[in-house]
Amino acid sequence: MKEFELIKHFFTEQNVKRKDVLQGIGDDCAVIASTENQNIVVTTDTLVAGVHFPLETSARAIGHKAVAVNLSDIAAMGAKPSWISLAITLPDIDNAWLTEFCAGVFELCEYYNVELIGGDTTQGPLSITITAQGLIPEGKYLSRSGAKAGDWLYVTGEIGDAALALQHINNEVTLEQDFIEPIQNKLDYPKPRVLAGQALREYASAAIDISDGLLADLGHICQASNVGANIVLDAIPLSQILRDSLFFDDAIKLALNGGDDYELLFTISEDNKVGMETALTNVGIQCTCIGQINATQTISTTLNNKPVPISSSGFEHFSEK
């Protein structure tokens, strides 16, 4: 067990040193300076080997993804990520693995000026739990509960590629050779929409990041906001690779149910549309209007302007129809 103490050195050498971290790694707690007129947002996500990533995933991708899924939650609140704590459970000590894992963690941390302020290293089956925190001006955070009937439904980026990569890994689909690497990268190195989230906080009425799947996460917004929504299936942004690899129906099913996209799904009033589109363009993020919020408390879908039924027993069963 003492050896596990030694590997702490992997986590103490980092380039990010924030002024608001009064005490970093190395004491009983980290200490953070007071933050006047700012709210702090906090999120925790665990990745378990074989459950949240395939066992053969590279150490660098695991490190990246563990940070990315947490920063994605911070982005969905419109906040700016600041500090993370990292709890890692390892079956054994593999210096090469740890070096690569840390590279994945710190690349993202450096890019977003996020300091690793502490954590724990324990022996056991591989799993990583990160608690990430961020700052946002007082009262400005986005939640899932602000969507209103009439608001437009938007999504950043393209949806479904991570799920396609998972199908490829599970031998459920055969991809053209040229498609494999870019699709694998979408699964392994998701980009948290941190800048988009901050740009949206002046405009969006509700926001969530897509981790469970577009339909399930829209369900979370609808439930929290007590509204319904219609999705225009032909409007869902699909990558050229996804379109080229699957029939349209299968591609749409994957986009609706796949998950692991880490794009932002958000709602916006008619009045805020132009401002929002300008703000996202300024940070270089593509967004697409894929539907509208309504008062029905159910989620419907249309294709070619015609209703397409989804299972009455719930969104989860859509893929069974």
Q: Which residue ranges make up the site for a second copy (CB under 8 A)?
A: 1-2, 22-23, 26-46, 48-52, 73-74, 76-77, 79, 83, 85-87, 89, 117-120, 122-125, 127, 129, 131, 133-134, 136, 138-139, 141, 143-145, 207-209, 224, 316
Beta carbon of residue 305, minimum distance to a second copy (angstroms, whole number): 33
Query: Which residue lies nearer to a second copy by CB, 79 or 108?
Result: 79
Query: Which residue lies nearer to a second copy by CB, 133 or 230?
Result: 133
Q: How far apart are CA 268 and CA 153, in angstroms?
A: 7
Beta carbon of residue 177, minimum distance to a second copy (angstroms, whole number): 32
Query: Which residue lies nearer to a second copy by CB, 42 or 173?
Result: 42
Beta carbon of residue 6, minimum distance to a second copy (angstroms, whole number): 12
Q: How far apart are CA 119 and CA 130, in angstroms?
A: 8
Query: Which residue lies nearer to a second copy by CB, 242 or 258?
Result: 258
Cβ atoms of 142 and 78 within 8 Å: the answer is: yes
- By three-state DSSP, how is residue 130 classified? strand
Query: Which residue lies nearer to a second copy by CB, 24 or 237?
Result: 24
The CB density around residue 39, as the number of other CB atoms within 10 Å, is 15
Cβ atoms of 224 and 145 within 8 Å: the answer is: yes
Q: How far apart are CA 130 and CA 43, in angstroms?
A: 8
| DSSP class per residue in 52-98 | TB-TT--HHHHHHHHHHHHHHHHHHTT-EEEEEEEEEEESS--HHHH
Beta carbon of residue 47, minimum distance to a second copy (angstroms, whole number): 8
Beta carbon of residue 77, minimum distance to a second copy (angstroms, whole number): 5
